[in-house]
Structure 1
Amino acid sequence: MKTLIDSTHALIGGLAAIRRQFNVPEQFPPAVLAAADSAARRQPTAHADRTDRPFVTLDPATSTDLDQAFMIERSGNDLLLHYAIADVAWFVGDGDAIDREAWQRGTTIYLPDGRAGLYPPVLAEGAASLLPAVARPAVIFTTRIDGDGNARLDGAERAIIRSSAKLAYDTVKASDLPADFDELARRIEAAESRRGAARVDPPEQEVDALGDGRYQLLFRPRLRSEEQNATLSLASNIAIADALLAARTGLFRVMPEPDEQAVQRLRQSARALGLSWPEMETLVQFEKKLDPADSRHAAFMLAVRRASGGASYVPYRDGIVPWHAPMAATYAHATAPLRRLADRYVVRAALAVANGQPVPPEVSAAFEELPAVMARADARDGQIDRNVIDLAEALMLQGSEGTTFDAVVTDADEHGLRIQLCELPIVARVRGPGEKPGDRIRIKLTSADPLQRRIIFERAG
């Protein structure tokens, strides 16, 4: 972790330049804002009253665009996860001004100094957000989790809910959560292990705003409460995907597994990092032993993520089972409709399928168009994230030219060495043959240019 004091407003200026470069929208067109104001006043008329149920939300403390609320109850030996998802489609009509703008954006864009929402704030942080102590329209997906952690969609309905608490990852206590929250997460994680899932979650490099012109650059590992909360979305998304696949419709999230050549390279990386990976042990089995708090393990987890290739969206096709290798399952995105365009359509399809109704033709048509739209949005978001990190790294090191640092090699390819500084949360490249992943080297900073968002190191000595 490292705090940046942006006394000259260089970071603010740099973030503004990133927004311009990637055409991050500064505001919504007047027609979209007017349509959103009108939509926010729309009263739910197709929803059951479930305001007596003890739903809660669990998110980062500062979040106001709340997609999900949940409650858990027992049914014999099974657990029923009632997962309420913001009913964005109640407010947004096909082809209206809000919808057309959302298709242009694809996702909510997050930067340290604010976000560019998928939907106007009056909806995303107001009428459609599952905020506490207010009635909100939602689609409740009920997923049955058996003793082995297998998930099956039991039903779906439009309903009015009233969340009783807005819980935060970093402050939540066990007593704040439903009684079976830990047990539900345990079952789902056990099912992941049995089917050979390998969700790789290395610490993320982030820039966070602290206020008063202060920012911090850090590697942020996921909190246990965040990991457990992710299992709720995981189980719901798998259950929804299975239901859609059985109905021969849907939009799925897919991701390939590393090929054999990539696995062999990973074995070399593990040896270089001093990690013991038995020859008879698969990559999935080995990953289960990794601890993201260990820098060597975290470096290997990053290598696995790079070797796996990117995730993408595909519509249903006859005879093809869409597969997400890290999940070891057929998987869909349905639980973040305030932040991802595709989820709104998956929610609509799953609601129809669960109630024995045909999927609306406009939803089926959208499934064919969404993969390209979401691919562009995902690529843009990744570029923005990388440029923000590059800017913060250059600002942190500006004025330190000539200083030497200890670093660990995390990867090596034809472009040189990828390194992670030992004293600072910085990842960079340096030219030089001979070293392998896991080797420690000394490097010297030769240039740190915030305007170009670029830092240059050379080998010391």
Structure 2
Amino acid sequence: MKAITDPDHALDRGLQAIRTQYDVTQDFPPQVIAAAEAAIRRTPTSHADRTALDFRTLDPAQSTDLDQAFLIEEAGADLILRYAIADVAWFVDDGDALDIEAWKRGTSFYLPDGKAPLYPTILSEGAASLLPDGPRPAVIFVVRVAPDGGARLDGVERAIIRSRAKLGYETLKPGDLPPLFDSFARRIRDAELRRGAARVDPPEQEVVALPDGGHVLGFRQRFPAEEGNAAMSLATNLAVAEALLEHRTGLFRVMAEPDAQAVARLRHSAAGLGLAWPREMTLAQFEARLDPADTRAAALMLEIRRAGEGARYTPYHPGVVPWHAAMAGTYAHATAPLRRLADRYVARAALEVANGRPVPGGVSAAFEKLPQIMAKADAREGQIDRAVVDLAEAVMLGGREGERFSAIVTDLDERGARIQLADLAVVARVAAPGAIPGDRIEVRLAAADAARREIRFEPAA
């Protein structure tokens, strides 16, 4: 992580400009706030009492919009995951002011100087968040995981729960996690490897606000407990997706494999980076072996992510098995309803089918409309994230025009060579005729313009 020196407050001005450009606001219209205030006064009437169960949450330490709480138990050779999800649908009615506003936003947006939540904070960080300060309404997914890692949905219920602890990735101490946490994660990971999944997250640039008001730019650190947390979410989403597919309904997350031409380019890139990719090994098998801590592997992982068409949402279509190549399975998003609009509807559908009831017409209709809404929100989120990083890079490099930097070429396309600076978390492009992925080159900073969020490098003479 590299501290950003910003005595002129160019970063603050730039972040405000990004909020204005992309219409990212933390504020809500008065009617939405009024609807939220009315919603938090509702007394749950359709929920079983599960407050005696030992649920806890696991998130970044500073997070307060807590979507999930968990409990893992043994049942013979199987493991039972009780994954409690914030019951957002209890607070939000179809067509009310909260619902209308959520459809406009699609998702929560996160910036270094604060987030723009999907729902007002009195809900998303208060009454609906699974914080350990009192009972909360939740939807509990009961997921049975066999010794081979196969996951199926054993039940879904609305319940009142009480989280016993708010655990943070950065602040975990020995004994904080339940004894079965690691063995559960191993089962899910082993099952992924057997079916050829490639759920490997490449390192991502991020800008982080510091307590003293400053900021740093770096690659996001991934903590060991995140793997286990991701395994619980994955198992739940796979189990929910299979249950919905069996009942011929749902909204699924799908992603195609890179085509043969793209895979051929990736093989050339791997060779250029000095990474051995045996001819008989598939892309998924190879990607599963990559270590994001290795800068060469990280560079290839980023290229792999760009090689395919990207993930998208699709409703159920008769005779079509929705497929997510990176997960190597049928997959849905159900576990983050405070932060993603689509999850609220998927959770509602799962609750109904698991209890032998028909999916409400309004939910089925939403499945047809949500792909477009979520695609727009995903694109906007990506643009905001990129704009923030571009701004931070320009601010950090401001005043260093003319300096030389060592860089590694990560890939090539029609716009030139993509490079990663050797000593800074900066990714850029440069004209580098004859370069191949893996080459180390010297570049000179030609321009750094914070107002335009642009940096420009040239080959060093």
Bucket of the pairwise TM-score, normalised by the shorter protein? over 0.9
**Could you tell me whether the CA contact under 8 Å between 2:207 and 2:218 is conserved in 1?**
yes
What is the CA distance between 1:15 and its match in structure 2?
0.3
Match of 2:166 in 1: 166
SS in structure 2 opposite 1:170?
helix
Q: Deviations over 1:47-99 (max 9, x none)?
A: 00000000000000110000000001111100000000000000000000000
SS in structure 2 opposite 1:380?
helix
Alignment of 1:51-70 (within 5 A): 51-70=51-70
What is the CA distance between 1:281 and its match in structure 2?
1.4
Match of 2:42 in 1: 42
Alignment of 1:72-221 (within 5 A): 72-221=72-221
**Structure-1 separation of matches of 2:402 and 2:219:** 25
**Structure-1 separation of matches of 2:221 and 2:273:** 20
Number of residue pairs matched by the alignment: 461
Q: Deviations over 1:319-349 (max 9, x none)?
A: 0000000000000000000000000000000
What is the CA distance between 1:388 and its match in structure 2?
0.3
**Structure-2 separation of matches of 1:45 and 1:246:** 29
SS in structure 2 opposite 1:165?
strand
Moved more, 203-212 or 170-179: 170-179
Alignment of 1:366-377 (within 5 A): 366-377=366-377
SS in structure 1 opposite 2:175?
helix
SS in structure 2 opposite 1:142?
strand
**Structure-2 separation of matches of 1:47 and 1:285:** 44
Match of 1:313 in 2: 313
**Structure-2 separation of matches of 1:80 and 1:460:** 59
Unmatched tracts of structure 2, length 5 or more: none
**Could you tell me whether the CA contact under 8 Å between 2:250 and 2:316 is conserved in 1?**
yes
What is the CA distance between 1:133 and its match in structure 2?
3.4
Superposition RMSD in Å: 0.8
What is the CA distance between 1:200 and its match in structure 2?
2.6
Alignment of 1:378-393 (within 5 A): 378-393=378-393
Could you tell me which amino acid in structure 1 is paired with residue 254 of structure 2? V
SS in structure 2 opposite 1:98?
helix
The percentage of counterpart residues that share the same residue type is 67
Unmatched tracts of structure 1, length 5 or more: none
**Could you tell me whether the CA contact under 8 Å between 2:6 and 2:396 is conserved in 1?**
no
Match of 2:358 in 1: 358
**Structure-1 separation of matches of 2:164 and 2:129:** 14
What is the CA distance between 1:174 and its match in structure 2?
4.5
What is the CA distance between 1:431 and its match in structure 2?
1.1
Could you tell me which amino acid in structure 2 is paired with residue 188 of structure 1? I
**Structure-2 separation of matches of 1:6 and 1:139:** 45
Could you tell me which amino acid in structure 2 is paired with residue 84 of structure 1? A
Report the TM-score when normalising by structure 2.
0.99
**Structure-2 separation of matches of 1:126 and 1:221:** 28
Match of 1:322 in 2: 322
Alignment of 1:417-432 (within 5 A): 417-432=417-432
Could you tell me which amino acid in structure 2 is paired with residue 208 of structure 1? V
What is the CA distance between 1:421 and its match in structure 2?
0.2
**Could you tell me whether the CA contact under 8 Å between 1:221 and 1:293 is conserved in 2?**
no
Match of 2:16 in 1: 16
Alignment of 1:342-357 (within 5 A): 342-357=342-357
Runs of 4+ residues deviating >3 angstroms: none
**Structure-2 separation of matches of 1:291 and 1:432:** 27
Report the TM-score when normalising by structure 1.
0.99
Match of 2:433 in 1: 433
